[in-house]
Amino acid sequence: MMLTRSAVEKDDEVINFGVYPQEETLSYFRVALLVGLLINSDAIDFVITGCSSGNGMNVACNTMPNVLSGYIPTPSDAYLFGRINYGNCVSLPLGLNFGWAGELNISYTLAKLFDGPMNTGYPQGEALRKQRDAKLLLEIKRSESINMIDIMEKLDEEVLKPIWQKQDVLNYVIENGNNQKLRDYLIRKI
């Protein structure tokens, strides 16, 4: 939390929806569903997540509608993703590169992610092309995505049971989300 707080602007709000010892362990697939709920409700605009390698979480998040996740194992990857890709989620490799001074790796990576305005294009000479390409990718993703309610409705209740127990996320979406259909759906389900 402190690493993230030091990386973002003073006016940004950081909310920690981490998985805690008293909670059931959530697979990266289930965490991605929660990320999808947070982003699609418009309750938040950016998610920092991860798993052991960071890859599984990144892939899982990218299967959610309106979520564009990037894999950021290094500060330069974080910086480039933040400038170029119009993403709203990043995945860190939390089980790699975190021996001695590992806290520095994550701190530098998050600092570079939020180092300056997002989605400006990079390098400067290619900025307009990069912005145009990133926006086209978002249009393609939006045109191919189904909505979160349809995804949730297709899943077995046993798969969703741990999601319904993650009250901090669900309550935050219900209280702060701007997607009324998704909020109403969650109210009915919990």
Q: 70-100, pLDDT tens digit by residue?
A: 999 999 999 999 999 999 999 999 888 777 8
Q: Would you state the pLDDT for residue 130?
A: 93
Q: Can you tell me the distance from the alpha carbon of 34 to that of 67, in angstroms, rounded to the nearest whole number?
A: 11
Short-list 45, 47, 102, CA closest to 73: 102
Residue type, 139: E
Phi, psi of 117, rounded to the nearest 5 degrees: -65, 145
Burial of 9 (0-12, 13-18, 19+ CB in 10 A): exposed
Cα atoms in the Cβ-side hemisphere of radius 13 Å centred on 7: 22
Q: Would you state the pLDDT for residue 2?
A: 46
Q: What CATH architecture is 2-189?
A: 3-Layer(aba) Sandwich (3.40)
Task: Quickly count helices (H) and strands (E) in the chain.
Answer: 10, 3
Q: Can you tell me the distance from the alpha carbon of 10 to that of 132, in angstroms, rounded to the nearest whole number?
A: 30
Query: To which residue do tokens 């599984």 refer?
Result: 56
Q: How far apart are the two ends of the chain, measured CA to CA in Å? A: 28
CB neighbours of residue 44 within 10 Å: 20
Query: Where do the structural domains in the chain lie, given as residue ranges?
Result: 2-189
Run of H or E including 91: strand 89-93
Q: Can you tell me the distance from the alpha carbon of 13 to that of 101, in angstroms, rounded to the nearest whole number?
A: 26
Q: Would you state the pLDDT for residue 4?
A: 54
How far is Cα of residue 116 from the mean position of the Cα atoms in its chain? 19
Q: Would you state the pLDDT for residue 187?
A: 97
Query: Which residues in the chain come in under a pLDDT of 70?
Result: 1-8
- Eight-state DSSP code of residue 134: H
Q: Would you state the pLDDT for residue 103?
A: 86
Query: In a 3-state reduction of DSSP, which class is residue 47?
Result: strand
Q: Are 26 and 166 in contact (CB under 8 A)?
A: yes
Entry pTM: 0.89
